[in-house]
Amino acid sequence: MKIQLTKFITLLAITASLGCGAIEDDGGDGDGDGDGDGDVDAGQDPDAPIGVLPAPIDGDSLQNPAETHFMSITGVRNFTYAESISSPDGDAEDFVEFEFPNNSNPIQNIQVSLECTFDGDAGANAEIVVFEDGVINNSTVVECNDGTQSIQVDNTKVQTARVSFASAAELTRLDYSLTVVGFQ
């Protein structure tokens, strides 16, 4: 019994000294933040997305877009919408609606561009996809900073552009400017 007790006390002493050592090491980092976090922070330093601010939730959706533009050759010929999204936290996607007058030819050629500035994952990418009457049109994808793309839409339907991330490995914020030109 006495031997076992001695061993136990010795173990306690070792554990206590190890604990003290760990705390001293953390203090040596000079973080000032405190306990044990020093190790985790050191491991995530390369990420450095600690300063990335998630985009505020703005509550828009496919059914409730942020803006609606009625475009015509004599009225609104183009528009620009500047906003932000972030992933995986914050406002994940934005929606802007636009509509053209019906024409004898339902095919409407429009120009779309998406200017992007990312904060966070350097490899992140985002894109615009256009929904027509609420149905996704997979042939109308426009990626970030890819210049002005000409796409076809159906002017008998209502278009909704969705801006969302194609990929983001860590907390990343996108400040973008979406431009749609319906009539040159």
Q: Does 83 bind Ca ion (CB under 5 A)?
A: yes
In the numeric block, which tokens belong to residue 174? Answer: 């996108």
Q: Is the separation of the CB atoms in 164 and 90 below 8 Å?
A: no
Decide whether 157 or 173 has the Cβ nearer to Ca ion.
173
Q: Does 121 bind Ca ion (CB under 5 A)?
A: no
x/- track of binding to Ca ion for residues 40-59 (CB under 5 A):
------------------x-
Q: Determine the Cα–Cα distance for residues 64 and 173; give it in Å rounded to an integer.
A: 22
Q: Determine the Cα–Cα distance for residues 159 and 154; give it in Å rounded to an integer.
A: 8
Decide whether 26 or 94 has the Cβ nearer to Ca ion.
94
Q: Is the separation of the CB atoms in 182 and 151 below 8 Å?
A: no
Q: Determine the Cα–Cα distance for residues 15 and 122; give it in Å rounded to an integer.
A: 42
Decide whether 119 or 154 has the Cβ nearer to Ca ion.
119
Residue 131, number of CB atoms within 10 A of its CB:
19
Decide whether 26 or 97 has the Cβ nearer to Ca ion.
97
The least CB distance from residue 57 to Ca ion, in Å, is 7
In the numeric block, which tokens belong to residue 121? Answer: 């994952």
84 forms beta bridges with 175
Q: Which stretch binds Ca ion (CB under 5 A): 25-33, 73-81, 83-91, 106-114?
A: 83-91
The least CB distance from residue 146 to Ca ion, in Å, is 20
Q: Does 60 bind Ca ion (CB under 5 A)?
A: yes
* Residue whose structure tokens are 């929606």: 95
Q: Does 94 bind Ca ion (CB under 5 A)?
A: yes
Q: Which stretch binds Ca ion (CB under 5 A): 87-95, 97-105, 119-127, 137-145?
A: 87-95
Residues in contact with Ca ion by CB under 5 A are 58, 60, 83, 91, 94
